[in-house]
Amino acid sequence: MTAPETAPIGVFDSGIGGLSVLKALQAELPHQRYVYLADSGHAPYGEREPQHIIDRTMAAVDYLIMHHGIQALVVACNTATAIAIHLLRVDHPQLPLVGLEPAIKPAAQHSRNRRVGVLATRGTLQSEKFRVLHAGLAQQTEFILQPCDGLAGAIERQDEDRITTLSAQYCAALGPCGSAPGLIDTVVLGCTHYPLVADRLQALLGADVTLIESGAPVARQTRRVLPHIATEGKSETRYYTTGRKEALQSAVQRWSQADALVSTLEI
């Protein structure tokens, strides 16, 4: 059954990282209603076993369908997309789904030096979905893959000291970056948490390095698949978390400059 025109778009992430995608969605589709679900009580996903990620993703989507009647779903998590979205498509064939993947294709097209760094979770980099994507582009561009253990979790906790330490560690591990021939001139932010600290990463990598993220392309794809597009009225977003609601409220206020009414839930 098709959801009504007033039905919201569901936006799901393991935690606060999907706020970077939600912001792009709100810019692209400013009159839509949204339900944002952060599974912060079970985050981060990037260092968890695949079955854990599948189980949590399925539970979150079932909740959004049953309790909010969403008309489309954005899986605003690279790891959940890589490991679980193919199963969601089987279980919910009528629900328009938009997932994320590290933007290595646009990065390859952008890079003049044909050297691209990829900062992502270990779960994303080890997934079959990423392996296939990478294999299809590896002949034309060299990708330096850097798993960033702990960085998404530090951003989730808003642990400034840990964010600073890990950001410096992983940016340095990529190797020399810049616009000169032979250097990495483009870096993919392959986890939705990372754009929340993009300014810090940019400062570490240098002004000549282009950062590529997935928010805007995902928002455009959502527009294409959406059954109903609202053309008037004020956007409304409801926020839910399986973790501490104060943490999500603080994150929304910090990175979206908006007030958030957050509810906690157990799923």
pLDDT of 228: 85
Residue 227 in any domain: the answer is yes
pLDDT of 145: 98
Tens of pLDDT, residue by residue over 171-184, are: 999 999 999 999 99
> Does position 1 have pLDDT exceeding 60, yes or no?
no
Tens of pLDDT, residue by residue over 207-236, are: 999 999 999 999 999 999 998 898 888 889
Identify which of 170, 204, 176, 168 has the alpha carbon closest to the alpha carbon of residue 190. Answer: 170
Let me know whether 138 and 171 are in one domain.
Answer: yes
Active site residue 191: yes
Let me know whether 13 and 31 are in one domain.
Answer: yes
Share of the chain above pLDDT 90, in %: 81
Let me know whether 175 and 227 are in one domain.
Answer: no
Residue 147 in any domain: the answer is yes
Which residue in the block uniquely carries the two structure tokens 């926020």?
Answer: 239
Which residues does the annotation place in the binding site? 13-14, 45-46, 78-79, 192-193
Let me know whether 114 and 166 are in one domain.
Answer: yes
pLDDT of 123: 86
pLDDT averaged over the chain? 93
Let me know whether 125 and 149 are in one domain.
Answer: yes
> Does position 200 have pLDDT exceeding 60, yes or no?
yes
pLDDT of 161: 98
* Of residues 44 and 61, more confidently modeled: 61
Let me know whether 129 and 209 are in one domain.
Answer: yes
Per residue, what are the HEC states of 70-104? CCEEEECCHHHHHHHHHHHHHHCCCCCEECCCCCH
Let me know whether 187 and 59 are in one domain.
Answer: no
The CA-to-CA distance between both ends of the chain, in Å, stands at 24
> Does position 101 have pLDDT exceeding 90, yes or no?
no
* CA angle (155 as vertex; 205, 115 as ends), nearest 5: 30
Let me know whether 241 and 252 are in one domain.
Answer: yes
Active site residue 148: no
Residue 1 in any domain: the answer is no
> Does position 46 have pLDDT exceeding 80, yes or no?
no
Share of the chain above pLDDT 70, in %: 98
pLDDT of 3: 67
Tens of pLDDT, residue by residue over 18-28, are: 999 999 999 99
Let me know whether 49 and 144 are in one domain.
Answer: no
Let me know whether 108 and 203 are in one domain.
Answer: yes
CATH number where 243 lies: 3.40.50.1860
Which residues does the annotation place in the binding site for substrate? 13-14, 45-46, 78-79, 192-193
Tens of pLDDT, residue by residue over 122-172, are: 988 998 889 999 999 999 999 999 999 999 989 988 999 999 999 999 999
pLDDT of 218: 94
pLDDT of 48: 84
Residue 252 domain boundaries: 9-100+216-264
Active-site pick, 77, 148, 171, 177? 77
Average pLDDT for 105-124: 95
Rounded Cα–Cα distance for residues 92 and 125 (Å): 26
Residue 3 in any domain: the answer is no
pLDDT of 234: 81
